[in-house]
């Protein structure tokens, strides 16, 4: 007989606290089912958020915009419940979604009010968003929701600061290595020249000149250095024409058995363009095998614009 009252009391207590819990849960989520009608709303995202659900009133034919902070991107394309009711356009960096409420053909606008569809998407920070969008009168519709994400923005600031530090360190290290490499190349070049000079050295001086329409090509020295057959020739171009002369290319040909271009030749000029009465100095060098060695060579300088002049000058040991 005594057990029944205890059991009854236990049931009453369970029902009582269940009702209280259910009431609290409904109160906590009431903002999810109540449509957002403010023209502009600001909502804060937290790291603990997984699914963000909002109901929003939007007007037909007016754009509704959802904005996110910098560096937020879509992790997947938006899913639209009813494409006949909504049109979605996405802009990136910063992420911005533009949504328009549509109207059915031959349907009065007033009859569209209350119809709803949803848009669902996920962003790169992990949160999923579900928007239930209800077509409504413009007076009761929202225009914009701006999401702020302080945790994400602060983390990105720290990350950007770290990346900038790493970038500067890498840039400094690259400049140091480039300088070391440049010094090493210079040392090797001087060493090779010294070795070649000790093995063999022959230079010839002369005065060779040609002219074409007031542009002059001159050369006065050719040298062969080292047993590997490095040949170097100096030259200069003087412009006595009233318009600017632009150098397009400098080539050299061996005259042994005919005119044959030496394709491994490398040339240097102190600049490629000259005004009236200016002189450009240059040099051209190449390696040649003993069997291809020639006593005579031809320098060719070609103009890039204007008259397209081509100056040719024979030089020899």
In the chain, the percentage of residues whose pLDDT exceeds 90 is 61
**311: exposed, middle or buried (C-beta count within 10 Å: 0-12, 13-18, 19+)?**
buried
**Are 237 and 211 spatial neighbours (Cβ–Cβ below 8 Å)?**
no
Gyration radius (Cα) of the chain, Å: 41
**0.75 cut: is pTM over it?**
no
Residue 27 has pLDDT above 60, yes or no: no
**Are 220 and 208 spatial neighbours (Cβ–Cβ below 8 Å)?**
yes
201-316 and 32-149 share a CATH fold: yes
Alpha helices in the chain (DSSP H): 3-28, 30-33, 109-112, 150-199
pLDDT at 166 (0 to 100): 84
Name the architecture of domain 32-149. Answer: Sandwich (2.60)
Top-tier CATH class for 201-316: mainly beta
Residue 259 has pLDDT above 80, yes or no: yes
Residue 29 has pLDDT above 70, yes or no: no
Segments making up each domain of the chain, as ranges: 32-149, 201-316
pLDDT in tens, 287-303: 888 778 888 999 999 99
pLDDT in tens, 232-241: 999 999 999 9
Nearest Cα to 316, choosing from 249, 220, 194? 220
Rounded to whole angstroms, the Cα distance separating 225 from 285 reads 11
How sure is the predictor about 23, in pLDDT bands with cuts at 50, 70 and 90? very low
pLDDT in tens, 98-138: 999 999 988 999 999 999 999 999 999 999 999 999 999 99
Residue 59 has pLDDT above 70, yes or no: yes
Nearest Cα to 240, choosing from 219, 220, 214, 261? 214
pLDDT at 281 (0 to 100): 96
Q: In b/e form, how buried is each residue of 285-303, taking b as 16+ CB within 10 angstroms?
A: bbebeeeeebeebbbbbeb
DSSP conformation letters of 179-237: HHHHHHHHHHHHHHHHHHHHH-EEEEEEEEEEEETTEEEEEEEEEEETTTTEEEEEEEE
Residue 39 has pLDDT above 80, yes or no: yes
Name residue, tokens 């600049």: 271
- Mean predicted confidence (pLDDT) in 42-50: 92
**219: exposed, middle or buried (C-beta count within 10 Å: 0-12, 13-18, 19+)?**
buried
């Amino acid at each position: 007989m005594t057990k029944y009252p205890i059991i009854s009391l236990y049931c009453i207590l369970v029902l009582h606290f269940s009702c209280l819990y259910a009431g609290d849960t409904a109160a906590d989520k009431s903002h999810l089912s109540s449509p957002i009608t403010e023209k502009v709303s600001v909502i804060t995202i937290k790291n603990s958020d997984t699914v963000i659900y909002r109901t929003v009133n939007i007007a037909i034919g007016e754009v509704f915009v959802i904005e996110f902070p910098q560096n937020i991107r879509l992790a997947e394309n938006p899913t639209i419940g009813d494409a006949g009711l909504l049109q979605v356009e996405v802009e990136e960096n910063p992420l911005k979604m533009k949504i328009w409420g549509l109207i059915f053909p031959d349907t009065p606008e007033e009859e569209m009010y209350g119809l709803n569809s949803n848009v669902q998407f996920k962003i790169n920070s992990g949160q999923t968003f579900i928007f239930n969008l209800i077509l409504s009168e413009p007076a009761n519709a929202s225009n914009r929701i701006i999401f702020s994400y302080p945790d994400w923005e602060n983390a990105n600031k720290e990350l950007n600061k770290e990346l900038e530090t790493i970038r500067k360190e890498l840039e400094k290290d690259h400049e140091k290595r480039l300088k070391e490499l440049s010094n090493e190349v210079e040392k090797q070049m001087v060493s090779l020249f010294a070795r070649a000079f000790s093995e063999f050295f022959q230079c010839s001086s002369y005065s060779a000149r040609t002219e074409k329409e007031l542009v002059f090509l001159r050369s006065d020295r050719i040298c062969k250095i080292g047993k590997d057959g490095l040949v170097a020739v100096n030259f200069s171009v003087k412009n006595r024409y009233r318009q600017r002369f632009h150098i397009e290319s400098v080539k050299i040909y061996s005259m042994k058995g005919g005119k044959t271009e030496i394709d491994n030749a490398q040339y240097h000029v102190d600049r490629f363009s000259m005004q009236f009465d200016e002189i450009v100095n240059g040099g051209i060098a190449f390696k040649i095998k003993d069997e291809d060695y020639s006593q005579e060579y031809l320098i060719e300088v070609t103009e890039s614009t204007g008259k397209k002049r081509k100056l040719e000058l024979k030089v020899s040991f």
